[in-house]
């Protein structure tokens, strides 16, 4: 496996990982976050497998040079194939990053609910056969909608897109499975994840790409804010979630973010420092997106800190530097 310095876990997290029941299965392993997690897990354990709909044409797998025997082809919407994979691996710990609808070109509502909600029902029902010990689901902070300024997990959910509705529905589904069927399932509401191998048209890759050219891309309003969290911290969160899969946490949702609000203006100043940009950013030069409601959008991660012992470690400046270093090495952008 290449580029191990970027994905190798710290010693403390590695020790925790090695105590998690296996085999470990990563669903959606070909995506941005899933491929980062899978790479880290494979350094420490051999009983780790990833599922991907089309692994042969996956550029991330090609770059990472992951063992082909560890990556299985399977569309999670194909229940028969899913059953075959589960019967072969018999997973005890499952991390699910499978999703559709998070990007502007993914607008089919039927596919959104099939992939994000109905497939989750199939997955959980099938996993009941295999003495499941931990299931961690990647949800989204977009479940809160405009109720986005440091909400508690029990705060009102106001999803404002099909994607957000599907993720909020999974949160309720997992609550039922955890509290009423006593299954070891946990829901993570992820904030703005960035890091190696992110899609090139997303905010952080775009601002990095322009920054390396000593300029800024078109930007939205200066005051729009996000809670940016690096993939390395996301990997740690999922490992800690599985390690703390106990009855108290069954069915619970957790905010996974840094707890720090970063405005687009603040982000532009950080990238100016990192990339030595002399130009000035022009805010409002990019059209507003439908999800940019203008309100602060950042996490209250106190519940994850209390029950999972998770706190983000990588600050935004450090994370941007790491991401730039990786992109240069692999020519991702």
Residue with tokens 């105590």: 19
Radius of gyration of the chain (CA): 19
pLDDT at 331: 77
Q: The domain 4-196+229-259+299-315 is classified under which CATH number: 3.40.718.10, 3.40.50.720, 3.20.20.10, 3.40.50.300?
A: 3.40.50.720
Structure-derived torsion over alpha carbons of residues 100, 101, 104, 105, reported in degrees to the nearest 10: 50
What whole-number distance in Å separates Cα of residue 36 and Cα of residue 178?
27
pTM of the shown model: 0.96
**What is the structure's pLDDT at 151?**
98
- 262 φ, ψ to 5°? -125, 115
Provide the residue ranges of all domains of the chain, joining segments of one domain with +. Answer: 4-196+229-259+299-315
- pLDDT at res. 288: 63
Q: How far apart are CA 251 and CA 68, in angstroms?
A: 33
Whether the bond between 23 and the residue before it is cis, its omega within 30 degrees of 0, is: yes
**What does 212-224 look like in DSSP terms, one character per residue?**
TTTS---B--TT-
Each residue's pLDDT, cut to its tens digit, for the chain (333 residues) gives 556 788 999 999 999 999 999 999 999 999 999 999 999 999 999 999 999 999 999 999 999 999 999 999 999 999 999 999 999 999 999 999 999 998 878 889 999 999 999 999 999 999 999 999 999 999 999 999 999 999 999 999 999 999 999 999 999 999 999 999 999 999 999 999 999 999 999 999 999 999 999 999 999 999 999 999 999 999 999 999 999 999 999 999 999 999 999 999 999 999 999 999 999 999 987 766 555 556 799 999 999 999 999 999 999 999 999 999 998 888 776
Q: Record the tokens describing residue 169, joined without a space.
A: 């529905």
95, two tokens: 């991390």
pLDDT at 9: 96
Distance of CA 323 to the CA centre of its chain: 16
pLDDT of residue 332: 74
Angle formed at CA 248 by CA 261 and CA 51, multiple of 5 degrees: 70
- Whether the Cβ atoms of residue 47 and residue 5 lie closer than 8 Å to each other: no
Q: Are strands 185-190 and 93-96 parallel, antiparallel or unpaired?
A: unpaired
Cα gap 301→73, rounded to integer Å? 35
Determine the pLDDT at residue 106. Answer: 87
Q: Which DSSP string corresponds to 32-60?
A: HHHHHHHHHHHHH-SSEEEEES-GGG-HH
Element (H, E) at 135: strand 134-140
């Amino acid at each position: 496996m290449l580029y191990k310095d970027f994905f190798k876990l710290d010693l403390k997290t590695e020790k925790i990982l090695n105590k998690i029941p296996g085999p470990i299965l990563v669903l959606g392993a070909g995506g941005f976050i899933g491929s980062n997690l899978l790479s880290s897990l494979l350094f420490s354990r051999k009983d780790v497998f990833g599922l991907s709909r089309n692994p042969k044409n996956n550029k991330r797998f090609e770059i990472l040079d992951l063992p082909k025997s560890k990556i299985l082809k399977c569309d999670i919407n194909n229940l028969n194939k899913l059953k075959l994979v589960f019967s072969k691996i018999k997973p005890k710990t499952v991390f699910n990053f499978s999703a559709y609808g998070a990007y502007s070109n993914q607008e089919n509502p039927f596919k959104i609910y099939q992939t994000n909600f109905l497939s989750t029902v199939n997955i959980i029902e099938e996993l009941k056969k295999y003495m499941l010990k931990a299931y961690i689901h990647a949800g989204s902070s977009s479940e809160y909608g405009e109720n986005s300024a440091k909400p508690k997990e029990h705060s009102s959910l106001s999803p404002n897109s099909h994607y957000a509705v599907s993720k909020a529905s999974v949160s309720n589904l997992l609550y039922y499975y955890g509290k009423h069927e006593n299954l070891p399932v946990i829901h993570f509401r992820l904030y703005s994840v960035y890091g190696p191998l992110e899609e090139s048209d997303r905010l952080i890759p775009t601002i990095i790409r322009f920054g390396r050219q000593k300029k800024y891309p078109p930007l939205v309003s200066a005051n729009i804010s996000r809670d940016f969290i690096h993939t390395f911290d996301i990997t740690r969160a999922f490992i800690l979630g599985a390690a703390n899969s106990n009855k108290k946490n069954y069915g619970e949702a957790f905010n996974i973010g840094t707890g720090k609000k970063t405005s687009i203006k603040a982000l532009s100043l950080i990238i100016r420092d990192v990339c030595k940009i002399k130009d000035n950013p022009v805010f409002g030069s990019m059209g507003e997106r439908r999800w940019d409601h203008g309100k602060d959008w950042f996490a209250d991660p106190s519940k994850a800190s209390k029950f999972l012992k998770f706190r983000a470690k990588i600050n935004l400046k450090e994370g941007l530097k790491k991401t730039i270093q990786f992109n240069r090495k692999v020519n991702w952008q």
